[in-house]
Amino acid sequence: MASNRALLYSLLLISLFLSFTEAREFLVGGKTNAWIIPASDSESLNKWAEGSRFQIGDSLVWNYDPSKDSVLQVSEKDYESCSTSSPIAIYKDGSSKVKLDRSGPFYFISGVEGHCEKGQKLATVVLSVRRRFSDVSPAPSPVESEGPAVAPTSDGMRLRGGLVVLGVVGMLVLF
């Protein structure tokens, strides 16, 4: 019985770890056929992208009618000017998938003349790889000063560790 619990806890920890490191696919706009001219600024795909956290290895997926549109990956300059003359990549199969293979910004515009100028474009930012605990430089030595001590700020590693511990404690309570 005890070995079954140990196995269960091990599997739980592994699944929690994988959920933090697993590459994900994002349907652009969060729905099928979202690759259209937005009706308003509030419906812009950039508003959708601002609410998402993209990481290296994730993919963006567009679903659209290939007889009516395409997706161009472009430079920042071409994104700003809506230039379709020198794309980095062209996607026109109606179910386009782009792997986000580096950190930094990615820019996409519609391949149909005039659509980008009407707001059919997307800029995303891929987060850089999180540092491992061993990569973090040591904290500076404390300096004596007058006044109250300032509490340390939280970082992603502490939050992730806290979530793992919370998940394990939750499972222990269930069993």
| Cβ proximity of 62 and 95 under 8 Å | yes
CB 2: neighbour CB atoms within 10 A?
Answer: 6
pLDDT of residue 3: 59
Q: What is the mean pLDDT of the chain?
A: 77
Tokens of 152: 């340390």
Give the three-state DSSP class for 27.
strand
Q: Tell me: the pLDDT tens digits for 69-128?
A: 999 999 999 999 999 999 999 999 999 999 999 999 999 999 999 999 999 999 999 998
Output the six-digit token pair for 104. 């930094």
pTM above 0.75, yes or no: no
How far apart, in whole angstroms, are the C-alpha atoms of residue 128 and residue 54? Answer: 9
Q: In what order do the strands lie in the sheet with 89-91?
A: 54-55, 121-127, 104-110, 71-74, 89-91
The percent of residues above 70 in pLDDT, for the chain, comes to 62
Domains of the chain by start residue, with CATH:
20-127 (2.60.40.420)
Q: Is a pLDDT exceeding 80 seen at residue 172?
A: no
Q: What is the pLDDT of residue 175?
A: 53
**pLDDT higher at 88 or 20:** 88
